[in-house]
Amino acid sequence: MTGTARMLRGDPTEAEKALWTRLRAGQIDGFKFVRQFPVGTHVADFACRGARLVIELDGGQHATSDSDAARTALIEAHGYRVIRFWNHDVLANRDGVLESIRAELRLSRNLLP
């Protein structure tokens, strides 16, 4: 999985690039994110290990994908919450996406011991 994650980090989508510029370096309330993070047999687009939160970005190919539910269940089995956004939403409404992420991080603060 590490090799796959490394390869994916080298070829991000436009939506991943756009979101990463706002997630990196603790820009959201000091929470640190990593990108292309191996979780079990999958590689999550973004993860905040401290908050146990995974962010997945989905393109059009996911509109009818049954595998997303299985992927989410597997990531959740490793103790992470998963939130998903469409690539289009990241590109067209980045501030709204960031506010949703911020709300999830606030929730995480209340859930963590």
Q: What range does the domain containing 10 cover?
A: 2-111
Count of C-beta atoms within a 10 Å radius of residue 75: 21
Please give the pLDDT value at position 28: 92
Q: Are 47 and 55 in contact (CB under 8 A)?
A: yes
C-alpha 51, offset from chain centre: 12
Q: What is the CATH number of the domain that holds 11?
A: 3.40.960.10
Q: Please tell me the predicted confidence (pLDDT) of residue 5.
A: 44
- pTM of the full structure: 0.84
Beta strands in 4-110 (DSSP E): 34-39, 42-48, 53-58, 81-86
CA distance 113 to 110: 8
Q: How many domains are contained in the chain? A: 1
pLDDT tens sequence for the chain (113 residues): 555 545 555 568 999 999 999 999 999 999 999 999 999 989 999 999 999 999 999 886 545 566 788 889 999 999 999 999 999 999 999 999 999 999 999 988 776 55
Which 8-state DSSP code applies to residue 20?
H
Residue 77: its pLDDT value, please? 96
